[in-house]
Structure formats: C-alpha cells, structure tokens
Structure 1
Amino acid sequence: MSSEQQLASLFQAVEGLDHLLILPHNDPDPDAVASAVALSRLLSVRTALRPTVAYSGMIGRAENKALVSYLDQPLELLDNLVLPPAVPVALVDTQPGMGNNTVPSGSPVVVVIDHHPWREASAFATLADVRVDMGSTSTILTEYYQASGLEPDQKLATALFYGIKTDTLGLTRGTALADIDAFFYLRPRIDVDCLLEIERAQVPLGYFKSFDAALRAARIYDHRIVISYIGAMTYPDLAAELADVLLRLEGTEWVVCMGHYDHELVLAVRTTRPAGGAGLLAQAVVGKQGSAGGHGTMAGGHIILLGRNPKTTATRVARLVLKHLDLAPDLKGQPLV
C-alpha cells in the first residue's frame, strides 16, 4: 500500500473520534518523540482532532531532553493526565503487546505506526502501518507529510531528521531506500545549529560516574563480547547510552549493558554483526521475566525484579547471554580496564 493510501486509511481510522491519545513507547527516544509530534500536528491540520501526546517512563538522556525542549515541550506525562474513559489510542514507534508502552485500561488501540517486527495484536487496530523494512518511524511520518502536501516546519523537520539519523546511525544501520529519501528531503529544511546543540547537549556529573562504573564493571568474553552491569541508574536510557560507547571497542561484536532503575533491571543489547540478532538475544534472556524487543543490531529489555537483588539478577542474565552466544555460562571474562 502506498503512503497516499496509508494516509487515507489513517484519516478514515480517526474519522468521527472526539479524542485521540498518541503514545510513543515508554522512555521515548528521538524517533519516537519526533514521530508522535509529527502525527499530532498532521492530524491537527488535516482533521478536526486535537490529539494529546503523552508518554510514560522518563526522558532522561541529555539529547532527548534537549529535543523535547526544542519542540516546546509537546509531550505530557501520562500519569498527570485526566483522560476520558476508553480514550482511543494511536501507538507510535511501538505496538500492542510489545510491553514497552502504557495503554490506559479499556482504551482501544485504533492506530499503530511502527517499523519494529510485526506483533499479532496490531491486526486489531483500525490502521496498522508497520513497515519492518524501514529504519525509523520518522521516515513513515515524513512520507505522510509528503503525501498530504503538508510541509513540516523547521522544528519538526529537524526532529524528524534527528529521529532518522539516530535510529539508523546516520544511515549506516538497518537503512532502507525510503530512509535515505526522507533524510535528504528533510536535510534542507532543518536548523543545523539547533541540531548540533541537541546532539552536543551537556550531561550531568552523574553520567561520568556511571561511565566510570560501566568501564570498571565491563568484562570481555572470547575477545568479542562485552558485558557490563553499572548498578543503579539515574535514568533508564543510560544503559543504552553506555552500550553504544562500549560497542566502539576494537574487535567487539556484542555488548550487553545492564543497570538497575526503579524496580527493574534494564538491559541494552548492541551488535556489529551484519546478521543482527540483538532482538532475539534480548528476548531469549528476558523471557517471561519482563519485556524485550528491538532491531537486528540494537535491542533492549526490562526485567521486573520483584524484590530480587539486581546485581544477582544481572549475573544470571550475563550467564544466559553467554549461553545464547554458544559460550560456557561460567566462562570468566577479562576486565576491560
């Protein structure tokens, strides 16, 4: 189905609705933020709806905070809202059943727009535009704008551009031709100076303390696998942030970085292998203890601790990671530093 047809289906899916709640995945990243805001503005212009954009979890990463601030704080914390009963929901950059979104009890999911692997529960939405070949959901929203004839303003163009850039690692990871086309469509429309400010957002002192902890805790297995448990985190995105750094170690094929946030053990999985497999690894080690998902080269998961010791749980996860990668679970790793 073409973007024009998907756009028409989107308008049909929300026709007659009095309210719409747009939800990205919990702890939204730039792709999720940009896509959710883009959908809200598109519907506000082309329909009678005035959607509410909300999120659950935390926006903790410095760059993500800077992006939300640049967009004039368009997202509201879901827990702070008083919503109509059974308010219809549009899920963006996530799907029903993924375990990384917080759909209010009794609310029907009428729209799903995503690029992650298909979930069967998405079939119950009035519109499920799930394009697993694309590297970002921002690409799908950019195509909606092109199909509608609506030009994204500079701030929104910058956000969508950044969403594509981060999710595809600058068009080098899981990239489709559509991502490239959207990237270069948006490029002349962005605010380069503001984008640089977002990308270079200053980080708190605690980031460097966590970075130090991650390096000291990191262990190298079979000269190609790095596993690190960084302890308590000030925000859940930190595990992914540090995993991206550890992946730069020469010769590394796999990184699993874990940390404790609130009542959960958060893990981030990264791989340099062209065949991918990060999502499968995350799902294998998390199992029924929580939720996990992701792409071929990047994935994440949450394990609900239920009073268990987070460090002990992280040790168990590390053993499962080694087993999944065909190594002895009790293999001793070499310190990174």
Structure 2
Amino acid sequence: MSTGATISSMSSYAILGCGSVGHAVAESLDDEGKDVLILDKDEDRVEALRDQDLNAVTQDIADPSVVDAVGGRNVVLILASDVEANKAAVKAIREQGGDQFLVVRASDPISGDELRELGADVVINPSEVIANSALRTLESGEMEYKARQLAEILRGADGDLAILTHHNPDPDSIASAVALRAIAENYDVDADILYEGDIGHQENRAFVNLLGIELTERSEAPSLDEYGAVALVDHMKSGELEIRAGLDVFIDQYEPEEPLDAAFVDIRPNVSATSTILTKYIQEFDISPSQTVATALLYGIRAETLDFKRDTTPADLTAAAYLYPFADHETLEQVESPSMSPETLDVLAEAIQNREVQGSHLISNAGFIRDRDALTQAASHLLNLEGITTTAVFGIAEGTIYLSARSKDIRLNIGKLLQDTFGDIGEAAGHSTQASVEIPLGVFGGIETTEENRDTLLSLSEEAVRRKLFEAMGVEGSNDTNGS
C-alpha cells in the first residue's frame, strides 16, 4: 500500500489565506464533511472562523514555517489575495519536499506562469473564473430565450410545418430536420421533412431506411404556401439560400452570404454540426429524445466530424455524450457498415487504377458509370490513403460529367474551389469538406454519348476536369503518379 499523499475520498485539506474566496471554499468543503484546516495571519478573521466552528489557526502563509503548520494535509489550496505570499508558500512547500496537490490563486497570466514554475499543480485566476461563469450563464440564458422564441413560432403556426433540408441531404441535415419535427410535435404541430435531389451514398440510404425516417420529395409535397410555417435546417451546405421571404425558422452552422429575412434565426459557426444545435434545443425543451431521434442526431454529429476526428468542438462532444444513452448503437453500426454494391466496387477499382496524385491531392477518372453515388463513396474511400488530404473522382453518365470531392485540409474550402473552377460551365454545390459538380457535355459542342465517341468523351472530361482542378489546387497535373 502506498503511503504517499493521494487525492481520494479520504483527502484532507488545508486552505492558506481565507479571504472571500478561501472562505467560500472552506464553507463548501465543511458542508461536505471534509477535514479542513484554515491558515490565515489575520487574528480577528481566524477568531471569526472559529466562531463558525471552522478549524482555523493563525499563521503567516509567507513564512517558511507554513510547511509545519500544513502538516500531513495532502491537498493544499493557497488562496490569499496577496500573490507574493502565495508564491512564498508554494516555494516553501516544494523546497521542503512536500508532494501535496497544490491549488493556487493567481492575479494574472504572468503570475500564473510563475506559480506553475514554482510547483503549483493547478492555478486559478478569480477574474477568469468569474468571466467563464458569466459566459456560461449568458449562453444558458440566450438558449432559454431562443427556445421561448421558437416555441412562440410553433404555437402560432396556422397549419403544418414544412422543414426543408439542403439539396441532396446528408445525415446532419436529415437528423436536424428529424429533431425539429420532434420539437414541433411536442407543440402539437405536424411536420413534413422535404428534400430535393437524391439521398445519395449507401450509408445515407441505410441511415434513412434503418431508422424509418419519413422524407418527402419536394415535388410530391404541397406548395409551401399551404403550410402554416416553413423552416430551413442545415441548409447552407448547398451554398445558396433557397427561400428569402416568408421564412419562419432558420437553424444552421453556416452564415448565409446574403441578408436573411426570417422570424427565428439561430446560426452557430462555433459548432461543427447542426445536429449539435438541435440537441441543445431538445435539452432546453426538456424532451426525452426517442431512440430514433437520438440515434439520428448522434450519427449526424459523428458523420459531420468524421467520428470526432475533424473540427470537433466541446459543444459537439457534450451533445454526443448526452445522446449516447438514448441511441440505438446496433443500428448505428449497421448504418456505418453498409454493404457495397458491385457498381461501387467497380467504380472504386477504376478510380484506384486511374488515380493521379500531386502533393496531397488525388484526382481520378472513373470512366463511364451507372451509379453517380458510387463516385461519392470512391472519393470518401480514397481520402483514407496515407498522405492524401483531398480527393476528387469524376465519371460520365447520361451526357454529363459528374464529380464528387472530399477534403480534410483545413486550408482548403473544396466547395468554393469547385464553384470558382467550374461554376461557369456546370453546377457546383457543397461546402468546405465535401462538394460535387455536374458539367453537361453539351458545353463541348453537343457531342452525343455514343459507343463510337467514348474515347473522345473521356478525353474531354480529362481536359475539362483533371487539369483545371490541379491548377485550381495550385499544383500541375502529370501522368506519372497514378500508382501504376
């Protein structure tokens, strides 16, 4: 058994310097039944502490004899307002070989560094503590205010709520919409989740199917004018704000580039997933999330942060920790490990064979394809190659060049890069880490997709995509780095 000082349920405490901070700590520890000794040089203060039945002794903490006064106490809190006295106490304890756990009060960052050099284990600055507490209180108060605003919108909705995801919605967008629908239902408001484009990527389809998430294609839904309220969630990944007037709710992690006219707006660029924002609302409304809602939100956060390996914030981690006990982890495992179709395997094999790498950027031509979604999965898989930070895989289908790109390079906004590079000849969409482009082959002179001109079309796609993309990335393409 170790006889050294340890921090455990049997720890004993000494508080050196008992002003307002020390007094508050002493009372809290005493209320918890802790063994606390207080040392202070002010005799009147010590007498007052004794009158409160606190164990207090008169002692100048700047005097080296403080070491003997502390005795065998294994946690020492040095909390005097006189930082020089605190430094003297730390120095005396450490020079005498004391191995107590020392928590010491500083007055500013410089004195904090000096205290750490002398041997303090933890340094606290009351002004920073107060500021952090004030910020937490402000954040909590702001969240409460926002929740009241959202509740008023839902109570006042004259009909169902339309919740629009971004184009070709990803798990974060879908999960955010699912959570907002659950909040709306809490106020007896029915909601439809509307989307345009495709539910691409096998993981995304598995996500929707396994959780039984009801989504409605925009073309099959009533006109937005027929809904009592309209909401956009995680919408700006598409790069454009679809609705500029008559919008009731806007919740996103990305700022719109143009002014937004909405009754309720919550934009938080300091989180990495809109699912994190919606989780905070679930908590604020005191809604116990269903297994489906919790699983969707947790997957939304994990997908957006690459399983907490990319741009993860404390808020994302806190939200995920809250959701974890409610989620269906068996379903999550199924979602994250869907079977790969033969078409996807073919496209991935073609992309691997034709890959060209310049620096940390990889571009590949998958040739003629049947399933556009396979390009997305190929780009994601190739991003796992050692040394690769950005991937782009393109192919031809139905008279169009389709390109899917992924990036984990924090210096590169792949969505903006594709928009700048191909926006004049095609349609680009996406954000900083993932994006896509569609380029109609008609821009090259109306060439038809026939068996006879396949080689010509492939050559055109190479010229239109690979060279321009490498140039936009700041590197020059070549043909000798394709892994052959």
Report TM bin, short chain: 0.7 to 0.9
2:401 and 2:150 map into 1 onto residues whose CA distance is: 37
Partner of 1:29: 170
Q: How does 1:278-289 map to 2 (within 5 A)?
A: 278-288=414-424, 289=426
2:178 counterpart of 1:43: no
Instruction: After TM superposition, give the deviation of residue 263 of structure 1 in Å.
Output: 6.4
**SS of equivalent residue, structure 1 residue 335:** coil
Question: What TM-score, normalized to structure 1?
Answer: 0.86
Question: For residue 299 of structure 1, what is the amino acid of its counterpart?
Answer: Q
Q: How does 1:1-337 map to 2 (within 5 A)?
A: 2-14=142-154, 15-45=156-186, 47-83=187-223, 85=225, 87=227, 88-95=229-236, 98-99=239-240, 108-116=246-254, 118-121=255-258, 123-222=260-359, 224-260=360-396, 265-288=401-424, 289-295=426-432, 298-305=433-440, 307-308=442-443, 311=458, 312-313=460-461, 315-328=463-476, 331-337=478-484
2:303 and 2:149 map into 1 onto residues whose CA distance is: 28
Instruction: After TM superposition, give the deviation of residue 234 of structure 1 in Å.
Output: 4.5
Q: Deviations over 1:23-52 (max 9, x none)?
A: 11122221111111111111111x242111
Instruction: After TM superposition, give the deviation of residue 232 of structure 1 in Å.
Output: 4.6
**SS of equivalent residue, structure 2 residue 158:** coil
1:263 and 1:134 map into 2 onto residues whose CA distance is: 39
Q: Deviations over 1:76-123 (max 9, x none)?
A: 222222336464431111139824x876xx97332221123x113462
1:6 and 1:236 map into 2 onto residues whose CA distance is: 40
**SS of equivalent residue, structure 2 residue 307:** coil
2:314 and 2:306 map into 1 onto residues whose CA distance is: 15
Instruction: After TM superposition, give the deviation of residue 65 of structure 1 in Å.
Output: 1.6
Ranked by relative contact order (alpha carbons within 8 Å, sequence separation 6 or more), the top structure is: 1
Question: For residue 201 of structure 2, what is the amino acid of its counterpart?
Answer: R
Is the contact between residue 227 and residue 255 of structure 1 (CA under 8 Å) also seen in structure 2? yes
- Stretch deviating more after TM superposition (233-242 or 169-178): 233-242
**TM-aligned CA distance change 1:226 to 1:39, over 3 Å:** same
Is the contact between residue 347 and residue 369 of structure 2 (CA under 8 Å) also seen in structure 1? yes
Is the contact between residue 258 and residue 314 of structure 1 (CA under 8 Å) also seen in structure 2? no
**TM-aligned CA distance change 1:319 to 1:189, over 3 Å:** same
- Stretch deviating more after TM superposition (144-153 or 211-220): 211-220
Instruction: After TM superposition, give the deviation of residue 18 of structure 1 in Å.
Output: 1.9
Question: For residue 256 of structure 1, what is the amino acid of its counterpart?
Answer: A
Question: For residue 180 of structure 1, what is the amino acid of its counterpart?
Answer: L
2:462 and 2:278 map into 1 onto residues whose CA distance is: 37
- Stretch deviating more after TM superposition (195-204 or 80-89): 80-89
1:227 and 1:177 map into 2 onto residues whose CA distance is: 34
Instruction: After TM superposition, give the deviation of residue 300 of structure 1 in Å.
Output: 0.2
Structure with higher Rg: it is 2
Quote the sequence identity (%): 28
Is the contact between residue 169 and residue 195 of structure 2 (CA under 8 Å) also seen in structure 1? yes
Instruction: After TM superposition, give the deviation of residue 308 of structure 1 in Å.
Output: 3.8
User: RMSD of aligned C-alpha atoms?
Assistant: 2.7
Is the contact between residue 401 and residue 438 of structure 2 (CA under 8 Å) also seen in structure 1? yes
Q: Deviations over 1:156-180 (max 9, x none)?
A: 1111111111110111112111101
Question: For residue 286 of structure 1, what is the amino acid of its counterpart?
Answer: F
Query: How many equivalent residue pairs?
Result: 328
Question: For residue 112 of structure 1, what is the amino acid of its counterpart?
Answer: F
Q: Deviations over 1:235-262 (max 9, x none)?
A: 5443332112111222223212224465
Ranges in structure 2 where 5+ consecutive residues have no aligned partner: 1-138, 445-456
Ranges in structure 1 where 5+ consecutive residues have no aligned partner: none
